């Protein structure tokens, strides 16, 4: 997916995303890392781990969703004001193929930024035997939160 | 949510669900356990853990979704034939409130069982200071898989 | 579905819903009518019409969705302040069975009301040969709009 | 959105789609027409009509969804065998902006074709004062139906 060109409101958007990501215990637990941060677009990388599998040894769909939801949320966050926080209102995920692979790449892309509501799309790819395969698509709706310190960032 | 009464095709549905659950590395990693297994209804319990948090110390939405998706999938599985496997086609989750609490309860319920397609609903509750609060709702679509050994259960 | 008990902010919620419904050309075109208006719950009735069918003569899923989305939106509207308008942010619909019947009943129910975001659930039933059958479920997210005259109600 | 290249199983896919579309009372009622039929991609055109509006005079979201769902369903249908029928299992729609315009264009695109399950994405555009604006996105899951005459096409 190509990202439309967006002008970020906060020039320090990448540092803000990195700082928030570093505070997430769950991202650390599943071994996710930030691979790319651009205005309206964030990519998260995730290696395969035995601890994250379902009953057939593939990556658990919930882990795919967790990382993909984060990619979408941070993609929306890149276009928000410096002091804003972001909340996921809802997302839908379609699981297209088993998450079979050595590593995974989760792309989040803003489809429509908004003052209150942002709409994003996500795509999860598995890297398996040198080939990249689309394994999941997501549509996520996020809300900008401002003026509440405890939800900041 | 009250479950409609369903007659399971496989009298050993509970053992089948338990055996499959035990094989999921991800469920072990997040500390989830099976709290209830009935025809068309499965409840998963999940304690709060620092390793599963987002940046504000609440349970990460992805972990809520992971456990809730499993509850929905196993709920569908209880009504399937003994030799069948179950695949999540898609789910949508609405996050109603931050996952703040000491422990969490995830209910999956079959709305419509089907030979090929089953539709389920999930509800996630947080137990916080002695009160139970609805924090997420899910709608999940599952597919019955048969005759493919590698996806069995 | 039983509705939780809600206290409406606007005692004239039912009149407000009726006035808004009357202005919708689409509801008139498809022959929908308001069957029930309670705090957090709205039911819309819809007869079968040849003009609203898909290629097998059943009611078109889009018409089911149109009426069900309206039921959800108006259910949310019953709990909003008098001057507020309501916008559908997104909905997901699961089509459980063909919309075969003489008439249809669409229930919208508020799961979580909110100052900005309200989450609702919908159920569509077909009345066919004296029996009522669940044919679709919906999850819809609505936003309260205030202070913009052109979107009012 | 660019469509990936797909090889249709049925060389007469376009005629099949046109014949099915012609049988839909609902498509005729809302004034929709087929603007484009390619392997894995269908575009439906829809003019604004007062009979299809919501309370602010914009096109009703349900009509947007009806036409967009049809575009997605027919997109999936183009890749199915000649004798197959298609059923919508579920879809989710995000409404990004009011459906304000003189006419509308609904694109349905196959993301992943499948023997049983196909996943599609839809985009709705409004043409307003010479400009085209994205007003809705959809994710739809379809099922291939075979060997049941009454659901054929």
Q: At what angle do helices D61-78 and C61-77 cross, to 10 degrees?
A: 150
Determine contact: C87 vs chain A, CB below 8 A: no
Give me D85's structure tokens: 């029928």
C75 close to C110: Cβ distance less than 8 angstroms? yes
Query: Could you please report the per-residue DSSP string of D56-81?
Result: TSSBPHHHHHHHHHHHHHHHHHHTS-
More confident residue, D135 or A150: D135
Q: What is the pLDDT of residues D35-86, one digit of tens each?
A: 999 999 999 999 999 888 887 888 988 899 999 999 999 999 999 999 999 9
CB within 8 A of C151, min separation 6: which ones?
A: C85, C87, C145, D56, D98
Selected residue of D76, D87, D111, D117 to mutate for chain B interface (largest B Cβ count, 10 A): D117
Give the whole-angstrom CA distance, residue D46 versus residue D42: 13
Using only C-alpha atoms, what is the Rg of chain B? 15
CB nearest to A137's CB, from D94, D96, D119: D119
Q: CB distance B66–A69 less than 8 Å?
A: no
Q: What is the pLDDT of residues D97-151, one digit of tens each?
A: 999 999 999 999 999 999 999 999 999 999 998 999 999 999 999 999 986 544 5
CB within 8 A of B145, min separation 6: which ones?
A: B84, B85, B86, B87, B151, B152
Residue C43 in this model has a pLDDT that exceeds 70: yes
Contacts of A141 in chain D (CB under 8 A): 94
Average pLDDT, integer, range A23-35: 91
More confident residue, A137 or C150: A137
The pLDDT score that the predictor gives to residue A55 is 77
The pLDDT score that the predictor gives to residue B18 is 97
| Residue environment code for B39-69, b if the CB has 16+ CB neighbours within 10 A, otherwise e | bbbbbbbbebeeebbbbbebbbbbbbbbbbb
Residue C9 in this model has a pLDDT that exceeds 50: yes
pLDDT grade, residue C152 (50/70/90)?
A: very low
C36 CB neighbour count, 10 Å cutoff: 14
Give the whole-angstrom CA distance, residue D61 versus residue C89: 10
Give the whole-angstrom CA distance, residue C115 versus residue A57: 43
Average pLDDT, integer, range A93-118: 96
C13 close to C6: Cβ distance less than 8 angstroms? no
Residue A77's H or E segment, with its range, is helix A61-77
Residue of B nearest to A61 (CA): B66
Reference B105, options B125, B131, B132, B128; nearest CA is B125
Contacts of D117 in chain C (CB under 8 A): none
Whose tokens are 């658990």? That residue is A60
> Which of A50-59, A96-105, C4-13 has the weakest average pLDDT?
A50-59
Mean pLDDT of all residues belonging to chain C = 91
Contacts of D119 in chain A (CB under 8 A): 94, 96, 137
More confident residue, B150 or C100: C100
Give me B53's structure tokens: 């948090």
Give the whole-angstrom CA distance, residue D62 versus residue D148: 29
The pLDDT score that the predictor gives to residue A5 is 87
Average pLDDT, integer, range B105-112: 98
The pLDDT score that the predictor gives to residue B53 is 86
**Does the predicted TM-score (pTM) go above 0.95?**
no
Reference D105, options D91, D135, D126; nearest CA is D126
Reference A26, options B147, D54, B64; nearest CA is B64
Task: Please report the number of interchain residue pairs, chain C to chain D, with beta-carbon separation below 8 angstroms.
Answer: 109
Reference B60, options B29, B90, B98; nearest CA is B98
Chain A nearest CA to B12, separation (Å)? 18
The pLDDT score that the predictor gives to residue C12 is 97
User: Max Cα separation, chain D?
Assistant: 47
Q: What are phi and psi of D31, to 5 degrees?
A: 80, 20
Reference D10, options D79, D97, D102, D76; nearest CA is D79
Q: How many Cα neighbours within 13 Å face the side chain of B59?
A: 30
Q: Show contacts of B53-56: CB within 8 Å, 24+ apart.
A: B53/A24, B53/A25, B53/A26, B54/A24, B54/A25, B54/A26, B55/A20, B55/A21, B55/A23, B55/A24, B55/A153, B56/A150, B56/A151, B56/B98
The pLDDT score that the predictor gives to residue B36 is 98
Selected residue of D90, D141, D148 to mutate for chain B interface (largest B Cβ count, 10 A): D90
Average pLDDT, integer, range A106-135: 96
Selected residue of B112, B117, B151 to mutate for chain D interface (largest D Cβ count, 10 A): B117
Mean pLDDT of all residues belonging to chain B = 91
The number of helix segments (H) and strand segments (E) in chain D equals 3, 6
pLDDT grade, residue A6 (50/70/90)?
A: very high
- Length of chain C as a residue count: 153
The pLDDT score that the predictor gives to residue D149 is 47
Task: Please report the number of interchain residue pairs, chain A to chain C, with beta-carbon separation below 8 angstroms.
Answer: 18
Average pLDDT, integer, range B50-54: 85
Give the whole-angstrom CA distance, residue D144 versus residue D87: 7
Q: CB distance B20–A55 less than 8 Å?
A: yes
Average pLDDT, integer, range B46-53: 90
Q: How many Cα neighbours within 13 Å face the side chain of A107?
A: 18
Reference B98, options A85, A5, C93, A65; nearest CA is A85
Give me D126's structure tokens: 């409004």
Residue B83 in this model has a pLDDT that exceeds 80: yes
Contacts of C72 in chain B (CB under 8 A): none
Chain C nearest CA to D25, separation (Å)? 5
Contacts of B107 in chain C (CB under 8 A): none
Contacts of C98 in chain D (CB under 8 A): 151
The pLDDT score that the predictor gives to residue C2 is 56
The pLDDT score that the predictor gives to residue C7 is 93
B40 close to B79: Cβ distance less than 8 angstroms? yes
pLDDT grade, residue A24 (50/70/90)?
A: confident
Average pLDDT, integer, range A128-146: 94
Average pLDDT, integer, range A47-57: 86
């Amino acid at each position: 997916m190509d990202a439309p060109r967006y002008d970020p409101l906060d020039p320090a958007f990448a540092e803000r995303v990195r700082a928030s990501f570093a505070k997430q215990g769950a991202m650390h637990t599943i071994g996710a890392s930030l691979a790319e941060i651009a205005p309206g677009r964030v990519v998260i990388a995730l290696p395969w781990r035995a601890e994250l599998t379902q009953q057939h040894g593939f990556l658990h769909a919930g882990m795919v969703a967790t990382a993909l939801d984060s990619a979408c949320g941070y993609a929306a966050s890149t276009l928000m004001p410096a002091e804003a926080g972001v909340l996921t209102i809802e997302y839908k995920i379609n699981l297209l193929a088993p998450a079979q692979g050595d590593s995974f790449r989760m792309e989040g892309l803003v489809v429509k930024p908004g003052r209150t509501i942002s709409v994003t799309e996500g795509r999860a790819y598995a890297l398996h035997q040198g080939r990249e395969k689309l394994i999941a698509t997501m549509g996520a709706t996020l809300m900008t939160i401002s003026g509440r310190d405890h939800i900041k960032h």
